[in-house]
């Protein structure tokens, strides 16, 4: 058995192997070629087997030993390796390999795959809208169980108007390729800014927001030892939805905030979002999969699989609070013109993140191409 086979073989008899097999179904296989060493992982009725070689395997990926080590330790995910140009799909398609991610997380890290047995009780009002007048212990319990909260009217119209004005100034100053902004292309060819990062560095308003006691109180509901991170992991950032975007990352599929890598350092962590506009299907909104922060992802789309998904409708001044590991999505607005929603996000991180990540750096940096632009998975894998 090759050294790569030994590394995978050590987890082949683990409890996670059973979950991996159950998630993928019997007889599925993925091959790995690591610096010339080739092995195949195949699911069985009750686990996985690891064999040398990839002959006859229809899905095969290759990488060097450093990339494989980063995969084993979750320093980078399968998506992080793709964006970093450290993974090549030799046979099959990247989407087929990405579908293996929940099973690989179960196999390598013992993280259970989210399935219908993981659903929260139907009587739980996971879509409840809270306010700052509600009891912290009740909100803490819901955040712990569901992985997210939605609070109404946390910021005043005057505060939102000030933040809205500042966000527009920062967007107008952004330049494609500056590595502190993300850009997308509309169906008419127009380039639009869809995110500006590290905005606390360029705005007193957002520097103050990072240390706002209301946000600190909401992050503390997690019960975790966290501190605000305005200078790393994208810092304070404003997300801008653009109706009609056809390329770039204006719209985000189901993902976790640790989805490119760094889970051991980022999670559990908290992201607090301040809504500057109405968020709904027309203008863009967040979808959450309640309870998924304690699991690996489900195999396939949660909506198609019939999971209970919450689409959060926010008004300006509303705040969302979510665990960085909860599965969520930001689908395209149903409107094709006009302005979509804008929201400002502030991260609260573990000390491990500060030790692992220098100021001005982020796990998301891997998505910047050589020209400083950000592309979606389909564009990158192509």
Q: Do the Cβ atoms of 49 and 42 come closer than 8 Å?
A: yes
Mean pLDDT across 312-330 = 98
- 118-145 pLDDT, tens digit per residue, is 999 999 999 999 999 999 999 999 999 9
Q: Same domain for 40 and 126?
A: no
Model confidence over 106-123: pLDDT tens digits? 999 989 999 999 999 999
Q: How many CA atoms lie within 13 A of 71 on its CB side?
A: 26
**β-pairing verdict for 29-34 and 60-63:** parallel
Nearest to 364 by CA among 73, 62, 61, 76: 76
pLDDT at residue 172 is higher than 80: yes
Q: Which domain holds residue 144?
A: 116-381
Query: What value does the mean pLDDT take over residues 59-81?
Result: 96
Same-domain pairing of 278 and 214:
yes
pLDDT category, 218, cuts 50, 70, 90?
A: very high
Regarding whether 152 and 98 lie in a shared domain, the answer is no
Instruction: Name 136's Cβ contacts closer than 8 Å, sequence gap at least 6.
Output: 217, 221
The answer on 335 and 241 residing in a single domain is yes
- 373 plus 232 within the same structural domain: yes
Structural domain ending residue among the three candidates 109, 124, 149? 109
145 and 275 together in one domain: yes
275 and 357 together in one domain: yes
* C-alpha to C-alpha distances, 287 to 23, 90, 284, 314, 341, nearest whole angstrom: 23, 34, 10, 12, 14
Looking at the fold, whether 139 and 53 belong to one and the same domain comes out as no
Q: Provide the domain count of the chain.
A: 2
User: Residue 30 and residue 200: Cα distance in Å, rounded?
Assistant: 44
300: which DSSP letter? S
In Å, how far are 160, 192, 373 from 181, measured between CA atoms? 21, 10, 9
358 vs 143, 280, 282, CA distance in Å?
A: 29, 36, 38
pLDDT at 1: 61
Pairing of strands 191-196, 181-186: antiparallel
Tokens read off for 210: 């990072």
E strands, 206-361, are 227-228, 237-240, 245-248, 252-255, 270-275, 287-288, 310-311, 319-323, 328-330, 342-349
Element (H, E) at 368: none
Looking at residue 2, what is its pLDDT? 67
Domain match, 220 and 142 both: yes
CATH of residue 269: 2.60.120.620
Structure tokens at 141: 């319990």
Dist. CA 338–CA 186, nearest whole Å: 12
Q: Which of 84, 109, 134 is a domain's end point?
A: 109
φ and ψ at 127, to 5 degrees?
-95, 10
DSSP assignment, residue 113? B
CATH code assigned at 66: 3.30.1050.10
Give the 3-state secondary structure of 53-102.
Answer: CCCCCCCEEEECHHHHHHHHHCCCCHHHHHHCCCCEEEECCHHHHHCCHH
Per-position b or e across 76-105, b if 16+ CB within 10 A of its CB:
bbbbbbbbbebbebeeeebeebbbbbbbbb
In this prediction the pTM is: 0.95
Same domain, 138 and 157: yes
User: Of 92, 109, 126, which residue is a domain's last?
Assistant: 109
Residues 96 and 136 in one domain: no
- Read off the pLDDT of residues 271-294 as tens digits, 9 standing for 90 and up: 999 999 999 999 999 999 999 999
Do 195 and 174 reside in the same domain of the chain?
Answer: yes
Alpha carbon distance 11, 1 (integer Å): 14
Place of tokens 């395997």: 57
């Amino acid at each position: 058995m090759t050294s790569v086979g030994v590394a995978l073989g050590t987890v082949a008899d683990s409890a996670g192997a059973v979950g991996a097999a159950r998630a993928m179904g019997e007889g599925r296989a993925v091959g790995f070629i690591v610096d010339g060493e080739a092995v195949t992982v195949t699911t069985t009725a009750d686990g996985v087997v690891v064999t040398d070689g990839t002959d006859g395997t229809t899905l095969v990926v290759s990488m060097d030993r450093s990339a494989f080590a980063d995969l084993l330790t979750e320093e980078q995910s399968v998506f992080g390796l793709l964006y970093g140009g450290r993974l090549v799909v030799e046979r099959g398609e990247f989407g087929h390999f990405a579908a293996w991610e929940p099973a690989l997380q179960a196999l390598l890290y013992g993280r259970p795959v989210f399935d219908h047995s993981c659903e929260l009780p139907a009587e739980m009002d996971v879509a409840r809208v809270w306010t700052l007048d509600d009891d912290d212990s009740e909100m803490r319990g819901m955040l712990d169980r569901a992985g997210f909260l939605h609070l109404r009217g946390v910021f005043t119209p005057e505060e939102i108007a000030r933040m809205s004005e500042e966000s527009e100034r920062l967007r107008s100053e952004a330049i494609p390729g500056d590595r502190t902004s993300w850009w997308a292309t509309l169906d008419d060819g127009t380039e639009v800014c869809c995110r500006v990062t590290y905005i606390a560095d360029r705005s007193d308003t957002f520097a103050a927001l990072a240390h706002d006691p209301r946000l600190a109180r909401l992050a503390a509901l997690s019960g975790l030892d966290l501190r605000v991170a305005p200078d790393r992991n994208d810092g304070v950032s404003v997300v801008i939805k653009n109706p009609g975007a056809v390329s770039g990352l204006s719209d985000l599929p189901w993902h976790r905030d640790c989805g490119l890598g760094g889970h051991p350092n980022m999670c559990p962590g908290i992201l607090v979002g301040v809504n500057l506009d109405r968020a709904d299907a027309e203008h863009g909104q967040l979808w959450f999969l309640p309870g998924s922060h304690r699991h690996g992802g489900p195999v396939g789309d949660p909506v198609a699989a019939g999971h209970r998904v919450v689409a959060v409708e926010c008004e300006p001044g509303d705040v969302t609070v979510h665990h960085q590991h909860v599965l969520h999505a930001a689908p395209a607005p149903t409107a094709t013109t006009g302005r979509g929603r804008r929201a400002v996000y502030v991260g609260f991180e573990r000390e491990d993140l500060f030790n692992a990540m220098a100021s001005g750096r982020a796990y998301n940096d891997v998505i910047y191409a050589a020209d400083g632009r950000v592309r979606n998975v389909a564009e990158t894998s192509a």
